[in-house]
Structure 1
């Protein structure tokens, strides 16, 4: 309530939780009822966190007709109130997560799934430190079925070529990025470096490491909402769609993580260039879980357009030191910063499920003492590696059957996600390419 008292201009509140697709589902509430929200929460049907990408109920879901579509209890996360700078009227956002009415965590809530993994680490006396790198496109989508780079607010010109690490590309949208960084500051999102990327209108912003995986996933989820909202204020779209342009690279959400012991020491560091045995155990766990977790990292039909050879997105299940062609990369760094970079997730992922899948797989490997295969050298696309599932349908089947996923996620969430994705797979077949882009451009 302190934040609201300091901002008396705020008259309305949005309350929102992430569904399985990472879409914000919520309500608009007058600010004068904020006290009740903080103490009593609010209610949504459980099924709201299990809707398909169109916001439709999942057919035959036991959460709907069979159970009578009952309500879950939504309570505020630790984040509390924050501004929504992309709206015209002063408005506060209150992020929520779902519980049963008796206070038990609801297993179908993505944030609860990540909390469950974080508790596994805490029980082992470990703390994961997490950062994300989020790539996105700025797009002029004013004509249906025709995407192009928006004109620069400074020059009015469209830069149609890729301009990797170009200051000119960043400066062309300087007012947008300045507004975005100011908004990140207001929302306590630790946005760090911004660069232009390898496709037209594509950019990447890094979010700083957090010794709390829930905070890191919150930051990524809120950042995606913010970027899309600020872009619309400037008259164009920002999209985290995996691959909006067939001829250019897609967007990823690369995740970096290390693990600290109870004394604050990085367990991936042993003073050597190779890193510790437990680093290799964590790598092995991530590799073992990769076929089953592909649906988390590539959750939509368009996701599989990104996972193709020679497009800066992995296709083979392998790891390497300082090699961006591999699915798992160990960046060069000082010993204290020894970490793992997981390069498989697309920009269209749910950050909570992705963080849970990666950290859970790494902990599986650490717990099992699993040995990693030898790291590869050179171009990963040229190695005879086991491959990620090649299609959405294959990934759904692999996720459902995966023993690694059952160690990480509750069975209820697994069943819900499989039903959701099979429904989407069925109905996406009815859409044209233009309709597919139109659907994913804003939703993911």
Structure 2
């Protein structure tokens, strides 16, 4: 790994930055790392830093996994964490000028650590490169702005009117304008962090919004953007006096947060291989759809990783529950949008906002690649309401999702054995301890963490 990816000149051009954070994403997408004085940053850039391999395998509370073989059996050995190609990014939600250096984990011998979710996505992308293909990816991130100062969650007071509108505001300019100061700061911060935040809309939930990311031919970058954007939104909301959360379902009576993903594939000439010149798309698109559908149930734990995730996956609440695909139909798990054939793509609509973006993209793209390699034919696209057609279902139960993920041959083709083992251990521990909590206590855990 080259040591000059995050140029040292960045900090020299930003002398106001006195401290840095170095952080990697654990299996839950939580940032794990260290605070370091900026004057020691050159050493981190050149040599990396170290912390235990087990740190990327903590539960949602940040606790060790009780029976993890990484700890006592292996002596809780260190990994070496090196900067990713992202380099330094500012952290505009903090009071003091600070920079974040994203890192990922390697073993002592220089090999990528298989329990690192970013390396899992990198492995899937290597599979596409062997076929001369590059995924083009965009994400749509939904989140709630929440007043969590009392015992019951509610929409924050409008900074403009001082009123609290307790209603859905679908595609409401008024709702966007009510929080204009927050969104103005958010877009300025996203630009400073080089996150390609595009259109913002108000959504169907109480104080719910969505921001789309611009398509990129770098899926690792797309996952980085989603991971960093979630940190930014939550941190910046606190500066504005309220909370923001990507948890799947904070309000039982309103739709939950999704993290929809659009993807296409380009060849060595930059041509979209999903485009057949017409509205249906190519054979390659159809095979990618077939792979995604075939893997959808067994990858359910990636798309719905937490207890609260399954409260979102209920019929008629704007989240797909059926394993099906369709053209221009948002009740299906996979939607093929209309429009210019050159932009033909697949929209994967299953994931909640609480997912780990690296694992999510690895699961989606990995399944699509299997479909392309094996020329998997999907069932016929549906028309009408997917909820009412008796179709195969996405897991509706956390325990079922864990079990199916653990024994899946398809999952084993997408993810390394060590990551599968660690993820299952993590989820079984969380399942056990979440059962001891009240709904209010579970809500408190997820509000800030995911």
TM-score range (shorter-chain normalised) is over 0.9
Compute the displacement of 1:384 (Å): 1.6
2:77 pairs with 1:102 = no
Is 1:385 aligned to residue 391 of structure 2?
yes
Alignment-derived partner of residue 91 in structure 1: 98
**How far off its partner does 1:171 sit?**
0.2
Equivalent in the alignment of 2:118: 111
1:58-81 per-residue CA deviation (whole Å, 9 max, x = no partner) reads 011000111110100100001101
Task: After TM superposition, give the deviation of residue 154 of structure 1 in Å.
Answer: 1.2
Measure the CA separation in 1 of the matches of 2:278 and 2:386: 24
Q: Specify the alignment match of 1:143 in structure 2.
A: 150
Partner in structure 2 of residue 330 of structure 1 = 336
TM-score scaled by length of structure 2: 0.98
Instruction: Report the RMSD for the aligned CA atoms in angstroms.
Output: 0.6
For 2:373, the equivalent position in structure 1 comes to 367
Q: Deviations over 1:236-256 (max 9, x none)?
A: 100000000001000000000
Alignment match, 1:62: 69
Match runs of 1:26-425 below 5 Å: 26-144=33-151, 146-425=152-431
Contact map agreement 1:3 1:82 (CA 8 A) in 2? no
| TM-aligned CA deviation for residue 200 of structure 1 | 1.1
**What SS does structure 1 have at the residue aligned with 2:147?**
strand
User: 1:23 & 1:143 partners in 2: Cα distance?
Assistant: 26
Q: How many Å apart are 1:169 and its aligned residue?
A: 0.1
The C-alpha deviation readout for 1:324-346, integer Å capped at 9, x for no partner, is 00000001120110000000000
Q: Which runs of 4+ in 1 moved over 3 A?
A: none
| Post-superposition offset of 1:390 | 1.6
**Residue 91 (structure 1) shift:** 0.4
SS in structure 2 opposite 1:64? coil
Question: What TM-score does the superposition give when structure 1 sets the normalisation length?
Answer: 0.99
Q: Which structure 1 segments of 5+ residues have no match?
A: none
In the TM superposition, what is the alpha-carbon distance from 1:6 to its structure 2 partner?
0.8
Distance in 2 (alpha carbons) for counterparts of 1:324 and 1:119: 31
Distance across 2 between alignment mates of 1:75 and 1:197: 38
SS in 2 for 1:75: strand
**Distance (Å, rounded) in 2 between the aligned partners of 1:102 and 1:81:** 25
Rounded Cα–Cα distance in structure 2 between residues aligned with 1:403 and 1:131:
28
How far residue 143 of structure 1 moved from its aligned partner, in angstroms, is: 1.6
Counterpart of 1:9? 16
Where do 5+ consecutive residues of structure 2 fail to align? Answer: 1-7
TM-aligned CA deviation for residue 12 of structure 1: 0.3
User: Structure 2: how far apart are the matches of 1:32 and 1:5?
Assistant: 10
Deviation at 1:159, TM superposition (A): 1.2
CA distance in 2, matches of 1:402, 1:292: 6
